[in-house]
């Protein structure tokens, strides 16, 4: 198969979908790789590295999209890339379609076979989302601590405090991969941490593996409302696979928070779990609303692209190989795992959560 790797053009996105080592493996498996010039520079990979691995380097994205049977990316296509997509082309990337009706309609109109990293499920795990969830969770606590600084609009409290002073109080909503990572980092910084989830079994696990000074609690609106006024940092990591994130903190609830406290919305790619959230970028990562600092960067792992690229490519490469081997046409018959990753195919939508978010009829695989 001819596989295209275009340069990511989303603001402040420096990750790349495939490393030179991944290119080498795909070429050895009989595939042809076309890589846009400069696509790996932000992650520390040069054109020569890709060329030495067997890829053809092309100067512009248009040629990559025009020649490739399958496009492998990190982030979802954005407006300048819509016209580059071809009918019948395969796309494998993070899509987050529940938060983007326009892209959903474009993929259907173009009859793109669109498979998403974030919905691919293996025994209730999301193996292609987990690496970036871990990175984003760690970043969330770091950035929450940084933006608690006064010069960022925060209340000026050091997360771990100092001798004779109070520590920051951190509430983490969601105990999945991102929430666990956020709790580990916040606790490591010396903050007082409470992590909430609605899965009792998961809470038992978190209690066993997290530091003793991390408190686990069952998540209810009442519990959140009781804890919120004492919090200095709130990290939202809740996830409903493929669907919009639930709004766990309403705009009205900002009024009971400390002025200068920080909200970090890891769920912003899925619409955000705070009602007042809106996507931001690494260049302009925060805004202040009702006196509360909001950090809502839509591609948090992009801040550390080399780590993120290795972590992502390690997870996705086996699935890229399978998709290239079988092609998008009925790949799920030989590898049923791809049923969960399929979002659009031959003009139809196959993801129920996306259909519910946009009021679009959903088809069922036979």
Residue/partner pairs of 321-329 with CB below 8 Å, 24 or more apart: 321/25, 321/26, 321/29, 323/70, 323/90, 323/92, 323/115, 324/1, 324/3, 324/26, 324/29, 324/31, 324/70, 325/1, 325/29, 327/1, 327/69, 327/90, 328/70, 328/90, 328/113, 328/115, 329/113
Name which of 283, 305, 280 is nearest 295 in CA terms: 280
Q: Which of 12, 47, 96, 232 is catalytic?
A: 96
- Is 269 catalytic? The answer is yes
* Alpha helix positions (H), the chain: 20-28, 47-52, 61-67, 79-82, 101-109, 130-146, 177-188, 200-209, 221-227, 305-326, 331-334, 337-341, 352-358
Exposure of 75 in the CB half-sphere (CA atoms within 13 A):
23
Q: How large is the greatest C-alpha to C-alpha distance in the chain, in angstroms?
A: 65
217 - beta bridge partners? Answer: 196
Exposure of 53 in the CB half-sphere (CA atoms within 13 A):
24
Interatomic CA distance for residues 349 and 104, integer angstroms: 8
Strand arrangement, sheet containing 214-218: 214-218, 192-197, 169-173, 233-236, 262-265, 292-295, 286-289
Answer whether 173's CB lies under 8 Å from 193's CB: no
- Is 334 catalytic? The answer is no
Residue that has been written with the tokens 């991390």 in this structure? 214
Q: Which of 47, 100, 232, 269 is catalytic?
A: 269
Instruction: Work out the number of other CB atoms within 10 angstroms of the CB of residue 73.
Output: 26
Report which secondary-structure segment, H or E, holds 57: strand 56-58
Interatomic CA distance for residues 165 and 130, integer angstroms: 36
Active site residues: 96, 269
């Amino acid at each position: 198969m001819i596989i295209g790797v275009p340069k990511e053009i989303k603001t402040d996105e420096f990750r790349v979908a495939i490393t030179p080592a991944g290119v080498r493996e795909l070429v050895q498996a009989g595939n042809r790789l076309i890589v846009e010039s400069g696509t790996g520079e932000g992650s520390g990979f040069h054109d020569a590295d890709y060329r030495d691995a067997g890829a053809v380097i092309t100067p512009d994205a248009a040629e990559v999209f025009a020649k490739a049977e399958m496009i492998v990316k990190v982030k979802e296509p954005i407006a300048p890339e819509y016209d580059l997509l071809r009918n019948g082309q395969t796309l494998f990337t993070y899509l987050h379609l529940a938060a983007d009706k326009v892209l959903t309609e474009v993929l259907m109109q173009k009859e793109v076979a669109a498979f998403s990293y974030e919905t691919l499920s293996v025994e209730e795990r999301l193996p292609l989302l987990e690496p970036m969830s871990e990175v984003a969770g760690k970043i969330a606590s770091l950035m929450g601590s940084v933006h608690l600084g006064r010069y960022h609009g925060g209340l000026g409290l050091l997360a771990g405090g100092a001798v004779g002073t109070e520590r920051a109080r951190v509430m983490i909503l969601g105990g999945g991969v991102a929430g666990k990572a956020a709790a580990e980092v916040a606790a490591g910084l010396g903050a007082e941490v409470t992590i909430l989830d609605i899965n009792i079994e998961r809470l038992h696990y978190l209690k066993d593996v997290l530091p003793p000074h991390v408190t686990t609690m069952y998540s209810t609106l009442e519990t959140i409302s009781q804890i919120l006024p004492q919090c200095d940092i709130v990290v939202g990591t809740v996830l409903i696979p493929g669907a919009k994130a639930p709004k766990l903190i309403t705009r009205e609830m900002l009024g009971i928070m400390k002025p200068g406290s920080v909200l970090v919305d890891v769920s912003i790619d899925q619409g955000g779990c705070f009602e007042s959230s809106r996507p931001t970028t690494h260049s302009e990562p925060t805004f202040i609303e009702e006196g509360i600092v909001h950090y809502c960067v839509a591609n948090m792992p992009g801040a550390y692209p080399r780590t993120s690229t290795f972590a992502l490519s390690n997870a996705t490469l086996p699935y890229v190989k399978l998709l290239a081997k079988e092609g998008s046409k009925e790949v799920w018959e030989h590898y049923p795992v791809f049923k969960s990753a399929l979002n659009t195919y031959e003009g139809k939508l196959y993801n129920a959560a996306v259909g519910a978010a946009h009021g679009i009829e959903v088809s069922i695989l036979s």
